[in-house]
Amino acid sequence: MPVSDSPRFDFHCHSRASDGDLTPAELVARALERGVEYLALTDHDTLAGLAEARAAAADRLTLVPGIELSVRWQTRELHLVGLAFDPDHAGLQALVAAQQDARVLRARSMGRRLDKVAGLANTYERVVARSGQDAPGRPWFAALLVDEGRARDMQHAFNRFLRPGQSAFVATPWVLLEDGIRVIREAGGVAVLAHPLRYGMTRRKLRQLLTDFAAAGGQALEVLTPGVTEPQRQLLDECLRDFGLLASGGSDFHSPRQKWLDLGQVPPPAPAMTPVWRAFAPPWQMA
Ligand code: AMP
Ligand code: MN
Ligand code: MN
Ligand code: MN
């Protein structure tokens, strides 16, 4: 079989600036070891890791600006990846600041709830200390719950306390899907719906979402991910075609402890797909 002539890319991963285990510099070093040529660091609702990642990348790989925004659509929380935008864009920076404010309030509220329902003390302060940030996401709370013996593992901590419907889940006024898309595009970037199969939606619901996503200016769907089964691949192909979307992809790497996936573990786009980088504006144009 011929070796794919697709560039080696990974447009979805996390550092310690959100809920990853590696610093931005360590993440870039790992990407280089694994032959990644184009990397987007997509931390949750923050641009804080980009400068360190860019410095570590220097001219050894192309660090494409990225972010994973938490957004609201109907009654759900979804994830919107933005790629190849201008990180200095004022409107985008204002949105990120608002998302961070919402994250701080949410984290404090989760802390108060866990103080009560998990019988812990000063949960928020302890999670701030272990994460080194004032707006820690749920995985940091899950890790504390595991260490304190309130959950067997991260998954159990989510199921028992942190996922929607559980006692420490805090509904949060994230930016609306359409506003997130608009701001990413105003900043010159490309709006990608992250991991479409991870929302537990029926095919019908997913198509409803993609109708709204495309109407709001959403351009790409994250279909190039590890572990997609054949029926899932067919559904994703159908979605790309029916909604005229570009194909993006990434590992969603968070930690070397995730033994089943690694940075850069991203299948190349199939010949029938249009890769997301076709929509990248200068200076982020790729082959
Ligand atoms: P947050 O940004 O605070 O809403 O946290 C979302 C993050 O938690 C996701 O990006 C995943 O990294 C992680 N996560 C979500 N659901 C689970 C789960 N069931 N088990 C383990 N980690 C999860
Ligand atoms: Mn995460
Ligand atoms: Mn996500
Ligand atoms: Mn992610």
The 3-state secondary structure of 85-115, one letter per residue:
CCCCCHHHHHHHHHHHHHHHHHHHHHHHHHH
In the predicted model, what is the mean pLDDT of residues 59-84? 98
Tokens of 122: 């000063």
Write down the pTM of the prediction.
Answer: 0.97
- If you take atom 20 of ligand 1, which residue's CA is the nearest one? 155
Which pLDDT value is given to residue 249? 98
- Paired with 192 in beta bridges are 81, 220
Percentage of residues in the chain having pLDDT higher than 70: 99
Q: How far is the CA of 271 from the centre of ligand 2 (A)?
A: 30
Task: Tell me: pLDDT of 3 over 90.
Answer: no
Which residues crowd ion ligand 2, with CB under 5 Å?
Answer: 19
Average pLDDT, the chain: 97
Run of H or E residues at 221: strand 220-224
Model confidence over 133-149: pLDDT tens digits?
A: 999 999 999 999 999 99
Contact 183, 190 (CB under 8 A): no
Of ligand 1's listed atoms, the one at least distance from the Cα of 254 is 12
pLDDT one-digit tens code per residue, 20-49: 999 999 999 999 999 999 999 999 999 999
pLDDT at 1 over 80: no
Query: 79 CB less than 6 Å from ligand 1?
Result: no
Q: From residue 51, give the alpha-carbon distance in Å to each of 65, 66, 191.
A: 10, 12, 21
C-beta 218 within 6 A of ligand 1: no
Give me the residue label for tokens 């359409």.
178
Q: What spacing in Å lies between the alpha carbon of 287 and ligand 4's midpoint? A: 25
Neighbours of 74 (CB within 10 A): 10
What pLDDT shows up at residue 27?
Answer: 98
Q: What is the pLDDT of residues 253-276, one digit of tens each?
A: 999 998 889 999 999 999 999 999
For range 80-104, the mean pLDDT: 98
Cα(170)–Cα(117) distance, integer angstroms? 14
Residue nearest to atom 2 of ligand 1 (CA): 137
Ligand 2 mean position to 20 CA, how many Å? Answer: 7
Ligand 1 nearest-atom number relative to CA 18: 2
For residues 123-131, average pLDDT: 98
Per-residue confidence (pLDDT) for residue 287, from 0 to 100: 73
49, amino acid identity: G
Ligand 1 proximity of 137 Cβ (cutoff 6 Å)? yes
Q: What percent of the chain has pLDDT over 90?
A: 97
How confident is the model at residue 2, as a pLDDT? Answer: 52
pLDDT in tens, 171-229: 999 999 999 999 999 999 999 999 999 999 999 999 999 999 999 999 999 999 999 99
User: What's the confidence (pLDDT) of residue 4?
Assistant: 74
Rounded CA gap, 182 and 216, in Å? Answer: 7
- The predicted model gives 71-100 an average pLDDT of 98
